[in-house]
Chain A
């Protein structure tokens, strides 16, 4: 079947992307498969200046999941564009830059710089930074701030599609989704990690130096599915689904509730060639289920 998908100004040869922070800058995985077989990759969150991230330990295993508090360690946006981007097959798959900043102005500056880079297919905005000036609330938890960041990025993004990545750590995710959509988001991506913690009963210590971290992996799939389902009914903006996807069956479930594409995160750690194999597996499963068009299958959940 035709695996191509087009939505929100983005055209992909198939709906499979890798999730930010779980696939490095792409080059780490070239020995396990051909990047060009993927719809695209989303690179580790980029900030204006390089960041060192949080103290160790920063990852912990949990049942069917993991917690991370990497703290957005990254090489900075200029290093990425100069040293990594030229090595990626950007003409054969989408390279999506994930942006991280702590003010609308910084986000806009990142967007302005990246909008001029021909190898970058789209900008994904991670609005999980606490905005210190307004008392530590996350951008992604306040509709007004989410809208402000979306507008600021849109203004500087040129013709690059803007993806706003939402946090599930809110009472009503449709509220934030509406705010981002109203401010001009081309695509919504959901979800980012769920806030969680793990402790050691014997040593009486938290398992992460940061105490609290983000939960990801198969354990969060039901939450992610629910979010995609709710948001796809609330707003008329295409959605990229992410959260716990670990099989072709999972991919179809996300498309069924309304996603145009999906991202694979933690499953890359289960086996490093997972996402490359997923492309074929998805095609085979579509055949087995008699699915001939994603456009027709998308959102066809029977309620």
Chain B
């Protein structure tokens, strides 16, 4: 059974609200922002074959929801789900972002990479220590930024032409140094964005936590299809060992 909402978001952005798989289980009672679920409507039968991974956007007595953007055939069909359609969900999967209550924490989100941070911000015991820098192409109204801005300082940068990207990277270069050694830097977004964050923190002798979005099949560490290069351990599954890694642990 699914409930399905699109409230407040424009364009190709949806909040998919699902019946909670098992609110009483210990894994769900202790879920933390950064973790994700695999989502697969029964009606897909054998095509598409794999479930699709999404960060947990919210999970409480009222349900489980993910916030997603249409990018291909899977998300296209997820957007068309109707109330009552059956969906298989497995999770919560993966690890979580670090929380340091008293440390200044910089959240860097690129596009749909904002999704895992909604609940991070809502739960943080000292929101005054948080700053969000958000880079995006579609209008800001497409994303749940306004709600986060009620609690924490948010800066949004829209990219409408190539020069905007240079400005955004320059901005990252200015804000990151203040946080990456004594505070905490968390980032989620497209690969080039994560690479840029990794480079800047390294230049300043610091590190960041990066959440990777590799293509996944099983989501549980069994198929070895989603690995990234870990400097000490070699290839490790992003779904089981991650999706969050310290920037100095991995090479892209």
Q: Which residues of A contact B (CB under 8 A)?
A: 21-24, 28-29, 31-32, 44, 50, 52-53, 56-59, 61-66, 68, 70, 73, 217-219, 246, 266, 268-272
The interface stretch among B8-16, B42-50, B61-69, B170-178 is B42-50
Let me know if A272 and B218 touch, CB within 8 A.
Answer: yes
Chain A contacts of B215 at CB under 8 A? Answer: 57, 59
> Closest chain B residue to A25 by CB distance?
B222
Measured between beta carbons, the chain B residues less than 8 angstroms from A269 are 49-51, 217-218, 223
In the bound assembly, the distance between CA atoms of A122 and B49 in angstroms comes to 31
Does B227 contact A272, Cβ atoms closer than 8 Å?
A: no
Q: How far apart are B109's CB and chain A's nearest CB, in angstroms?
A: 24
Which of A28, A44, A53, A61 meets B220, CB within 8 Å? A28
Q: Report yes or no: A29 in contact with B220, Cβ–Cβ below 8 A.
A: yes
Inter-chain CA distance A51–B149, complex, in Å, is 47
B168 at the interface (CB under 8 A from A): no
Fill in one digit per residue for B208-237: 1 if any A CB lies within 8 Å of its CB, else 0: 000000110111111111111000001100
Report the separation of the CA atoms of residues A59 and B48 in the bound assembly, to the nearest whole angstrom. Answer: 14
B193 within 8 A of partner (CB): no
Query: What residues of B have a CB within 8 angstroms of the CB of A32 in the complex?
Result: 90, 220
For the complex of A and B, the 10 pairs showing the least CB-CB separation, nearest first, are: A59-B225, A24-B222, A64-B46, A28-B222, A218-B46, A269-B217, A269-B218, A28-B221, A64-B47, A28-B220
CB distance B214 to A56 under 8 Å? yes
Q: Which of the residues A21, A66, A70, A73 comes within 8 Å of B49, measured between beta carbons?
A: A66
Tell me the nearest residue of chain B to A207, going by C-beta.
B215
Contacts of B157 in A (CB 8 A): none
B40 within 8 A of A: yes
Asked if B240 is at the interface (CB within 8 A of a chain A CB), the reply is yes
Taking a contact as CB atoms closer than 8 A, the residue among A21, A24, A53, A59 that contacts B221 in the complex is: A24
Residues of B with C-beta under 8 A to A63: 47
Tell me whether B88 is interfacial, beta carbon within 8 Å: yes
Shortest CB-to-CB span from B121 to chain A, Å, is 29
Residues in chain B near residue A64, CB distance under 8 A: 46-47, 49
Contact with A22, one of B47, B223, B226, B228 (Cβ below 8 angstroms):
B223
The one of A23, A62, A70 that contacts B225, using a Cβ cutoff of 8 Å: A70
Chain B interface SS verdict (over half):
loop
Q: Kindly provide the distance from the CB of A144 to the nearest chain B CB, expressed in whole angstroms.
A: 32
Q: Is the CB of B88 within 8 A of A52?
A: no
Assess A271 versus B90: contact at CB under 8 Å? Given A52-B235, A63-B47: yes
B224 touches A270 (CB 8 A): no
A73 touches B235 (CB 8 A): yes
Identify which of B48, B88, B220 gathers the most chain A CB atoms within 10 Å of its CB: B220
**Cβ-defined partner of B48 (8 Å) among A21, A29, A61:** A61
The residue from B38, B220, B221, B234 contacting A52, defined by CB atoms under 8 A apart: B234
Contact residue among A61, A68, A266, A271 (Cβ-Cβ distance under 8 Å from B40): A271
Q: Let me know if A66 and B47 touch, CB within 8 A.
A: no
Interchain nearest-CB distance for B28 vs A (Å): 12
Tell which of A61, A62, A73 touches B224, judged by Cβ atoms closer than 8 Å.
A73
16 pairs, A vs B, C-beta closer than 8 Å: A22-B218, A24-B221, A28-B240, A50-B234, A52-B234, A53-B224, A57-B215, A58-B224, A59-B217, A62-B49, A65-B49, A70-B223, A269-B217, A270-B46, A272-B90, A272-B218
Residues of A contacting B46 in the complex (Cβ-Cβ under 8 angstroms): 64, 217-219, 246, 270
* Shortest Cβ distance from residue B16 to the other chain A in the assembled complex, whole angstroms: 18
Q: Specify which of B27, B38, B222 lies most central, judged by the most chain A CB atoms within 10 Å of its CB.
A: B222
Can you add 7 more A-B contacts, CB < 8 Å, to A61-B48, A269-B51, A270-B51?
A: A21-B224, A24-B220, A32-B90, A56-B214, A63-B47, A64-B46, A218-B49
Task: Give the distance in Å from the alpha carbon of A36 to the alpha carbon of B169 in the complex.
Answer: 53
Q: Which of A65, A73, A217, A268 contacts B218 (CB 8 A)?
A: A268
Expressed in whole angstroms, the Cα–Cα distance for A261 and B242 within the complex equals: 36
The distance in angstroms between the C-alpha atoms of A28 and B226, with both chains bound, is 15
- Within the complex, the shortest CB–CB distance from A213 to chain B, in Å, comes to 10
Please name the residue on chain A nearest to B89 by beta carbon.
Answer: A271
A272 close to B220 (CB less than 8 A): yes
Chain B, Cβ-Cβ closest to A68: B225
List the B residue with the shortest CB-CB distance to A54. Answer: B235
| Cα-based distance from A239 to B50 in the complex (angstroms) | 29
Residues of A contacting B214 with CB < 8 Å? 56
Q: Digit string of B14-41 for contact with A (CB within 8 Å is 1, else 0)?
A: 0000000000000100000000001010
Knowing A65-B49, A246-B46, A271-B90, the reply to whether A70 touches B224 (Cβ < 8 A) is yes
In the complex, how many angstroms separate the beta carbon of B94 from the nearest chain A beta carbon?
13
When A53-B235, A59-B215, A271-B90 are in contact, do A266 and B225 touch as well, CB less than 8 Å?
no
Chain A: minimal CB distance from B222 (Å): 4
